[in-house]
Amino acid sequence: MTEYFPRKAGRSPRTARTGDELHRLRRRQRIDRVRRILVRAEQGFPVAKLLNKAGYFTKPDQYNVAVALTQAVIDQNPNSATYLMQKLDNVYVYNDVRTYPLSSYSYMLLPVGTDAQDSRLKTEKRQTLTDFLYYSICVGQQEMGNIGYSPLPINLVNAGFGQLQKLKTADRRWTSRGGTCAAATTRRSSPESPTRTTSRRSRRSRRSATR
């Protein structure tokens, strides 16, 4: 189980992090991995589609990434070396036609120590964290697509709420803002349909040629 996309031996992936790096890649005419928000900011920058398990080529838009991440699994074993880390094996091989297989998500480290364990945190700070994170992983997800990211699917939203509940264990004066969120649900269709490996048009062309 791994959160890293399988790669061939001797290959080391690199991610462009700035617009300048993006333009250097373009001048070299090479294919590389970049952050989607950079590509979105650079109008007209070409993006390679990936072949998924269902046999369709898909692009990394907000819809296809959200569909793929419905299959993300979180290690819930506190004794594991990868506790709370994402397991993306099922994402890479998900056979939904919309899946973008190279999908993952970012972490936020949440301090959950008690007052005795962490003197920097008091009830007010824990409540501020709760209010910010509740908005971020719930209502705020509706804006993610507009700024170049993909909204979290409901399985990851619920997992986030599970971690927020740990603040109550650390401080009973902490107030929960809720435990469920229906805002971040996966849409059933994408504005751009995925491209299949063999298109209907190409099959009709071959049949016409043989007549």
**8 A C-beta contact, residue 86 and residue 3:** yes
**8 A C-beta contact, residue 58 and residue 194:** yes
Average pLDDT over every residue of 111-117: 88
* pTM passes above 0.75: no
Contacts of residue 164, Cβ cutoff 8 Å, sequence gap at least 6:
110, 130, 133, 134, 176
Biggest alpha carbon distance in the chain? 82
pLDDT at 97: 97
pLDDT at 67: 96
Position 180 confidence tier, pLDDT thresholds 50, 70, 90: low
pLDDT at 92 over 60: yes
Say what percent of the chain tops pLDDT 70.
Answer: 63
Contacts of residue 188, Cβ cutoff 8 Å, sequence gap at least 6:
none
**80 token code pair:** 């594991």
Which residues sit opposite 196 in a β-bridge? 56
pLDDT at 96: 97
pLDDT at 143 over 50: yes
Average pLDDT over every residue of 130-138: 90
